[in-house]
Amino acid sequence: MSVRTRAIRFAGIALAGTLALSVSACSDNGEGGGDELVTVGFVAVGPEGAWRQANETNIQESFTEEAGFNLKYAPATNLDQKSQIDAFTSFVDEGVDVILLSATEGSGWEDSLSRAQEAEIPVILIDRGIEPDNTDLYVTRIAPDNIAVSTSVAEWAKTALPEGGNYFVLEGPAGVSVVNERNEGWDAVIGAESSFTKLGAQTANWSTEEAKSVFETVLKSNNNDVQLVFAQNDEMGLGAAQAIEEAGLTPGEDVKIATIDGTKGALEALAAGRLSFVAEYNPLFGDVAVDVVNKVLDGESVEPYIIAESLTFDSPEAAQEALPDRKF
């Protein structure tokens, strides 16, 4: 029998209703004398680079039996949305208590979310948003603020290149909400600067190898006249650095590279001068997710967007200082 009743009703930014949930089941470190665990279905992305691994490992390490949870982890098959929809449907049919959703694609979720709502199963978005962003169909989204993070990259670029220059954007996969948000923050600042010239943008699918190939072509077609790369994740920035080196140029000097994520590999490259600026996109918010799930199941209101605070690193010294404590 489920630890919750079928009494959840969605109302804008919060849930209203009362659930038959023993608080001790989520807070007594597994010593509640027979209280049932809260079953959480995690529709995950799966293997997709260092950031994703850190995020999903952190979620799994937070939703433990000791904390009162039975977490069911369902990574996508080769980043395929259909496999995610199938897993989501299975969790609804099974009658889990909560679903965590980290979508491989932003669109195409309305039917699944509506079905969860009809089954009175709250859905919490992890990292990525959905499009259209119908907040009536989910409880909240927990993630860093992509627009703020990419805006910080753009503001740094204005300072690092006061006379402007030619730039290229290495994007994540088309249709992913974080890609659109990172473009939005960047374009709002750099797009308004007449001294910066956009040479183009192309997806490299978060991949170092693809980014290297893409940027090799960019350098050749522009006779190496590129001053800046905005890579929407660290791995693509490191790929651009490899292409720059193979072209006989010096990354960080001849071509500045700014990235987003803040993984250990990126900070090591920044410390070595191969990258120029790294904006953290904090993946370690499993404890926040646990707190949110407990509040939702207790019938408490939560904000529609809960931001995981993130840092920026603008120098080799800043990277060196952060590296000893870097967990991802």
Digitized pLDDT (tens) for each residue of the chain, 328 residues in all: 445 443 333 333 333 333 333 333 333 333 433 468 999 999 999 988 889 999 999 999 999 999 999 999 999 999 899 999 999 999 999 999 999 999 999 899 999 999 999 999 999 999 999 988 899 999 999 999 999 999 999 999 999 999 999 999 999 998 888 999 999 999 999 999 999 999 999 999 999 999 999 999 999 999 999 999 999 999 999 999 999 999 999 999 999 999 999 999 999 999 999 999 999 999 999 999 999 999 999 999 999 999 999 999 999 999 999 999 998 9
Least Cα distance to 234 among 214, 206, 254, 212 occurs for 206
Calpha distance 197→200 (Å, rounded): 9
Least Cα distance to 139 among 317, 297, 311, 326 occurs for 297
If you search the block for the tokens 């290297």, which residue do you land on?
Answer: 212
Q: Is 206 left (phi over 0), alpha (psi -120 to 50) or beta?
A: left
Calpha distance 256→262 (Å, rounded): 16
Q: In this structure, which topology does domain 146-281+313-325 adopt according to CATH? A: Rossmann fold (3.40.50)
Q: Which residues in 102-209 belong to E strands, given as ranges?
A: 123-126, 140-143, 165-171, 196-203
| Full-model pTM | 0.83
Tokens of 163: 């006379």
Chain region(s) in the chain for CATH 3.40.50.2300: 9-143+282-297, 146-281+313-325
Q: What is the pLDDT of residue 35?
A: 67
Superfamily of domain 9-143+282-297: Response regulator (3.40.50.2300)
Contact 129, 106 (CB under 8 A): yes
Calpha distance 311→210 (Å, rounded): 27
Contact 113, 84 (CB under 8 A): no
